[in-house]
């Protein structure tokens, strides 16, 4: 049985929530002590939907009446119901709960009439709630105690993970203030509340990516494989070169001679959002869709990077701007360069790209272009938003970043294609891996944690 109340929309929140809260509190203050008996009573939630429950001795009839009268105006996403933790998405009311608020639920069954659950107490009811709502709409009445118990139970693991984290950065990768801030934010989130703890566990996927990316500098790719400079340039010119004034040139060389200020600003803005937009979209999935949708996106993102890092070591390649400055000779001491984005800095007066690329320790990582990969992931998972305009926006954003990569002379067209192939391969590979029973069980277990 499903119940739908058309008043449960955001536009009614500001009007009815204060009224509902006022009458409920007024009923609590004015209500008289109810008769000391355990007779079963029925609390109507609407004209179409009722729930049977057994109240304790301390219930207030007038308070219950006010709550019932105002229940129609309670938005479901603001409802907070005390509950006890129970497996499989089933939550059990606290025995001290006196007022049962309206929820976006499938069904409410009286515990006394359910023969399958006769081991429960008489003054409790079960609420069967969809999995994607159970974490967001409910608050544990014993939240502080549960947080303390969780910390106490996982104290050893927290210490162990902290030691590994700091040992890695102090003795191997090198520690900085950023690493300390990341650790502090995660630890605070973990101990602050149930919701922030789940978020901290969810964000570990992206933390894994950061740790792996930071570790790439420990073993530079040019020490593993031969650097590709001239061969990539010649292949690019042969496949995607254009002729101008009888001279064959790459698209990068053409844009170097023909750049437009408006495009300089536009491409710079697109390039700066290559990570923020995919990250924000994944957090949108986490908050407003389902945790599993977030997991699928985040793990595909992580797998895309793993594939990209492998290709980095197999084919170390120089970017187009390197050929402009150093030719085809290998120069180990070549610093990073803003290339075409220097025009963005000059127009805006900001040294965004100059500062960012000056800290780039390895310039021989043009293939694949992860700048091209990340936006494509948003396209592959854009349908999860159920918003056509947003999906179309992701397509436009993806092509804009691809164009920006070539226009700025940071990537060849070959690099962009390789980046897109990494994202598409990771998407397909993740879909196949998630069907393996063992991996699917692990994903399901992780889904419950976040």
Domain boundaries of the chain, sorted by first residue: 10-141, 221-449
Q: Identify the CA nearest to 71 among candidates 107, 98, 44, 31.
A: 44
Measured distance CA(309)–CA(312) in Å, rounded = 5
Query: Tokens 């204060």 sit at which residue?
Result: 18
CA-nearest of 379, 392, 255 to 324 is 255
Tokens of 149: 């118990």
Residue 33: CB partners within 8 Å, gap ≥ 6? Answer: 58, 60
- Predicted pLDDT at 147: 57
Q: From 102, 32, 95, 97, select the one nearest 60 (Cα to Cα).
A: 32
Span 130-189, pLDDT tens digits: 444 444 444 444 455 555 556 666 788 888 989 999 998 888 888 889 889 999 999 999
**Residue 285: phi, psi to the nearest 5?**
-65, -40
Q: Where are the alpha helices (DSSP H) in 351-412?
A: 352-358, 370-380, 388-407
Residue-level pLDDT at 9: 46
CB 407 within 8 A of CB 255: yes
Helix or strand or coil: residue 116?
helix
Cβ(378)–Cβ(430) under 8 Å?
A: no
The pLDDT value recorded for residue 42 is: 41
| DSSP SS3 for 90 | strand
Residues in the chain with pLDDT < 70?
1-153
pLDDT tens, residue by residue, 250-261: 999 999 999 999
């Amino acid at each position: 049985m499903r119940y739908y109340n058309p008043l449960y929309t955001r536009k009614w929140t500001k009007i009815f929530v204060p009224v509902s809260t006022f009458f409920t509190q007024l009923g609590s203050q004015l209500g008289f002590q109810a008769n000391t008996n355990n007779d079963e009573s029925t609390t109507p939630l609407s004209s179409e939907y009722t729930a049977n429950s057994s109240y304790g001795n301390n219930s207030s009839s007038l308070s219950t009446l006010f709550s019932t009268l105002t229940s129609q105006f309670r938005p479901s996403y603001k409802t907070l119901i005390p509950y006890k933790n129970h497996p499989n998405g089933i939550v059990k009311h606290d025995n001290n709960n006196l007022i049962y608020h309206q929820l976006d639920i499938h069904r409410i069954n009286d515990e006394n009439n359910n023969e399958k659950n006769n081991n429960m107490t008489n003054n409790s009811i079960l609420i069967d709630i969809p999995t994607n709502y159970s974490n967001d709409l409910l608050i544990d009445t014993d939240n502080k105690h549960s947080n303390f118990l969780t910390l106490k139970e996982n104290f050893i693991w927290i210490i162990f993970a902290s030691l590994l984290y700091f040992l890695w950065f102090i003795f191997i990768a090198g520690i900085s203030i950023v690493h300390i801030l990341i650790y502090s934010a995660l630890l605070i989130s973990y101990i602050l509340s149930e919701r922030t703890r789940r978020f901290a566990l969810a964000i570990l996927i992206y933390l894994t990516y950061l740790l792996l990316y930071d570790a790439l500098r420990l073993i530079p790719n040019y020490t593993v494989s031969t650097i590709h400079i001239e061969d990539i340039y010649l292949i690019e010119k042969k496949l995607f070169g254009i002729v101008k004034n009888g001279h064959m040139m790459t698209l990068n060389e053409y844009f170097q001679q023909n750049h437009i200020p408006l495009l300089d600003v536009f491409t710079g803005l697109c390039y700066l959002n290559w990570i923020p937009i995919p990250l924000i979209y994944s957090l949108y999935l986490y908050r407003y869709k389902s945790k599993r949708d977030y997991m699928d996106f985040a793990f595909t993102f992580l797998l895309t990077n793993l594939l990209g890092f492998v290709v980095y070591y197999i084919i170390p390649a120089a970017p187009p701007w390197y050929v402009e400055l150093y030719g085809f000779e290998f120069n180990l001491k070549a610093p990073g360069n803003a290339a075409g984005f220097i025009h963005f800095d000059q127009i805006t007066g900001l040294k965004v790209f100059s500062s960012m690329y000056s800290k780039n320790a390895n310039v021989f990582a043009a293939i694949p272009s992860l700048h091209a990969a990340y936006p494509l992931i948003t396209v592959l998972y854009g349908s999860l938003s159920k918003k056509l305009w947003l999906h179309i926006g992701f397509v436009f954003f993806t092509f804009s970043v691809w164009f920006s990569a070539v226009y700025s002379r940071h990537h060849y067209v070959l690099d962009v294609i390789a980046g897109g192939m990494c994202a598409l391969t990771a998407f397909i590979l993740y879909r196949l891996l998630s069907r393996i029973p063992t991996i699917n069980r692990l994903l399901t277990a992780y889904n419950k944690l976040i």
